Structure 1
Amino acid sequence: MNNNNNGGAEGAAKGVTSTLGNLAGGLTKGAGGIVGATGKGLGDTINSTTGTKAVGDGLQSVTGGIEDGASSAGKGAENAGQWKKS
């Protein structure tokens, strides 16, 4: 077996998975950011228009959690695309 061929195949695979991992990670983190920002805006609006903070703060908490989870998942996809273990 020729080690140069394995290196070439591995290099090509890493190039493809890196691109896909970065794309998936970026999209996931971007979507999470949108959800988080939307939730913050809606939560602020609910708090200021209703006079109660519980509902608006609760919405912000849920969407903030979604944003954090998406950010973590996106980073994981990027790491996997770069063949990182952690």
Structure 2
Amino acid sequence: MNNKNNGVRQGVTGVTSTVGNLAGGLLGTVGGAVGTVGRGLGGTINNTTGTKAVGDGLAYVTNGVESGVNSVAKGVEDAGKAPGK
């Protein structure tokens, strides 16, 4: 009976790990895109207007969003991992 329960637990862990990795990967992609777009727009604003305050502020905010989303993505991926792995 113990082997059967262990097999079920491993199967469930495999599914949750796959779903967690997929969701974490997608979140990481979105976070990276937000950060990249923000830095690009920030640089464009700085170069166009000649002032750094607005462009740097935008880049700062989107870098924060990127960092936060990446932390959540890592947590989602870690949640599906089997204990001790």
Query: Which bin holds the TM-score, normalised by the shorter protein?
Result: over 0.9
Structure 2: stretches of 5+ with no match in the other structure: none
Task: Give, in angstroms, the shift of residue 84 of structure 1.
Answer: 5.2
Instruction: Look up the equivalent residue of 1:39 and give its one-letter code.
Output: G
Relative distance call for 1:31 and 1:83 in structure 2 (3 A) is: same
Write the distance in 2 (CA, Å) between the matches of 1:56 and 1:75: 28
- Identity level (%): 58
- In the superposition, the TM-score normalised over structure 2's length comes to 0.95
Post-superposition CA distance 1:38-58 (Å, at most 9, x none): 000000000000011000000
Distance in 2, Cα, partners of 1:15 & 1:56:
44
1:5 CA drift (Å): 1.1
- Unpaired stretches in structure 1, ≥5 consecutive residues: none
CA distance in 2, matches of 1:83, 1:66: 29
Say whether 1:81 aligns with 2:59.
no
User: What residue in structure 1 maps to residue 3 of structure 2?
Assistant: 4
Structure 1 segments, 4+ long, off by >4 Å, are none
Matched, 1:25 2:4: no
Give the structure-1-normalised TM-score. Answer: 0.94
Q: Distance in 2 between matches of 1:37 and 1:76?
A: 22
Whole-Å separation in 2 of the counterparts to 1:3 and 1:43: 58
Q: Secondary structure at the match of 1:69?
A: helix
What are the Cα deviations for residues 8-29 of structure 1, in whole angstroms up to 9, with x where unaligned?
1101001100000000100001
| Letter matched to residue 7 of structure 1 | N
